[in-house]
Amino acid sequence: MGLRERKKRATRRALQRAAVQLAIERGLEHVTVDDIAAAADVSTRTFFNYFAGKEDALIGDGPPSPGEEARRVFVEGGPTGDLVEDLKVFLLSPILDDQEALPLLEDLRQRKRLIELEPQLIPRVMATFHEMEQSVAEALAARLGDKPDDLRPQLLSTVAAAAIRFTMKRSTWSGQEGPENIRAMSDEVFAMLRRALAREDP
Amino acid sequence: MGLRERKKRATRRALQRAAVQLAIERGLEHVTVDDIAAAADVSTRTFFNYFAGKEDALIGDGPPSPGEEARRVFVEGGPTGDLVEDLKVFLLSPILDDQEALPLLEDLRQRKRLIELEPQLIPRVMATFHEMEQSVAEALAARLGDKPDDLRPQLLSTVAAAAIRFTMKRSTWSGQEGPENIRAMSDEVFAMLRRALAREDP
DNA sequence: GGAAAATTTGCATTTAGTGCAAAAATATCG
DNA sequence: CGATATTTTTGCACTAAATGCAAATTTTCC
């Protein structure tokens, strides 16, 4: 990876960090884009080359999408053959496989702290999961032999995205046990869903 | 209901309608708040007395919350005793019971058309369902004897909100059969969820 | 009709966001 | 290394968004 790419990543992260930092210190309302840019040592205009606005810098990129390989396995009916189990593996694969892709733990903690201080951001976080829904619906359709717009893939992807979002929200990411923590939480989440949706009477 | 109240509702609706109308005609980017206010015959400043910004006027209010009565029935374990069935009834009650509360059909159709033209709005719509999650979690906790922050009520409310959001998105609201349409769609949605989550092997 | 309360409006001001072209930094190739 | 091409950053000008405040207007209530 060349110098250019590295610098761009660095700038992006510096902006995100400065944004979160300042927002925690002063409160969201009292931080301007100018402040953030200044704190990251770039011009205001450059800020807008990286983010569409203040909140985008605060919230980050949303969950990474599964890769080609994971998708192929899923579509072909693997790895276990059980739809829900495989969906879980599929959705978590980019997080659990590629640890580099994730922001650093400390940054995540800060962001979490910020969101507790400024709950207005919660809906924004929710929104970042929307992109996921469509790509998952597509993979589901391919596996099930449905059309991508059919009820089944659309519904299942919506609910699966909600479950993953919930998993991410709950798992604490403490210390080095991050990935294990996520896996455990997602197991619990899907197990509870199955239990709750199993009809109680028949 | 006094004149004041009626006028406020009228203004609000006029602004929403003007916003949606203009956005469909010219595209979201080419509509300013000034345009919207002018089309609704109020000052720009008044627009901001009603909405925090352009997009809020476009998207509207989000789903109405269940009333006291519906909550009581749900918490006490009714009406059917089956958790998922009752959750469905509970969440749809404000829509199906009180028809006045809903915007007119034609307005909903317009909004839907707009969202197809401007998909950037989809995440915003998603976000309006967040408020629902917390109040539903609270009711669920009360029914199940959990604390509101426990895993079970939080997870179930998240997933239930996603299912309702999906139901709303899918039901067409065509003609007079609106409510029936919603009911049928939600039955289908929950039935499919149960089927999909039932373990396939054991 | 007229005082009290709520709503609308104009105005001033700050911040957000975008287009464009020049300048600076980085990459590429001989 | 050094010249040139490509990408990124920056400054500047400009439009639109958003908010506070106080005066003016409208509605309510007696």
Q: How far apart are the C-alpha atoms of B84 and B149, rounded to whole Å?
A: 20
Q: Are B1 and B18 within 8 A, CB to CB? A: no
**What are the residue ranges of helices labelled H in chain A?**
3-26, 33-39, 44-50, 54-59, 68-75, 83-97, 105-117, 122-127, 130-144, 151-170, 178-197
pLDDT of residue A34: 96
Query: Quick one: tokens of A199?
Result: 């009809």
The 10s digit of each residue's pLDDT in B125-171 is 998 998 899 899 999 999 999 999 999 999 999 999 999 999 988 88
Taking only the tens place, the pLDDT of each residue in A82-113 is 999 999 999 999 888 776 666 677 788 889 89
* Closest C-alpha among B40, B63, B60, B43 to residue B52: B60
pLDDT at site A115:
92
Contact A197, A189 (CB under 8 A): no
Phi-psi bin for B60: left (phi > 0), alpha (psi -120 to 50), beta?
left
pLDDT less than 70: residues of chain A: 99-103, 172-178, 199-202
Chain A contact present for B144, CB below 8 A = no
Scan residues 64-83 of A and list those with Cβ closer than 8 Å to B.
81-83
Question: How far apart (Å, rounded) are the C-alpha atoms in residues A9 and A20?
Answer: 17
B151 and A CB contact within 8 Å: yes
CA neighbor of A89 nearest in space, from A115, A69, A109:
A69
The Cα–Cα gap between A96 and A107 comes to 18
Q: Does residue B52 reach within 7 angstroms of strand D, measured from its CB?
A: yes
Distance, CA of A55 to CA of A164 (rounded, Å)? 22
Place of tokens 């609270």: B138
**pLDDT tier, B78 (very low <50, low <70, confident <90, very high otherwise):** confident
From chain A, the residues in CB contact with B192 under 8 A are 151-152, 155-156
Residue A181 has what pLDDT? 84
The Å distance, CA of B52 to C1' of C1, is 39
pLDDT score of A55: 93
Burial of B47 (0-12, 13-18, 19+ CB in 10 A): buried
Chain segment B33-43, per-residue pLDDT in tens:
999 999 999 99
Return the DSSP state at B174. Answer: -
Q: Which of residues 20-49 of B touch strand D (CB under 7 A)?
A: 32-34, 45, 48
What predicted TM-score, i.e. pTM, was given to this entire model?
A: 0.87
Per DSSP, the three-state class of B108 is: helix
- Cβ pair A51, A87 in contact under 8 A: no
User: Does any strand D atom come closer than 7 Å to the Cβ of B111?
Assistant: no
Tell whether A171 lies on the interface with B, counting CB pairs under 8 A. Answer: no
Nearest protein residue to the C1' atom of D17, measured from CA = B53
A3 touches strand D (CB under 7 A): no
| The pLDDT value given to residue A202 | 47
- C-alpha B81/C-alpha B200 separation (Å) is 26
Partner A contacted by B163 (CB < 8 A): yes
Whole-number Å distance between alpha carbons of B73 and A180: 40
Q: What is the pLDDT of residue A78?
A: 79
State whether the beta carbon of A49 lies below 7 angstroms from any atom of strand D.
yes
Chain A hits for B83, CB-CB cut-off 8 Å, are 196, 200
Query: Does residue B69 register a pLDDT over 50?
Result: yes
Is B83 in Cβ contact with A196 (below 8 Å)?
yes
- Chain B, nearest residue to A152 by Cα: B192
A170 and chain B in contact, CB less than 8 A:
yes
Cβ within 8 Å of A, B 114-143 = 122-124, 126-128, 130
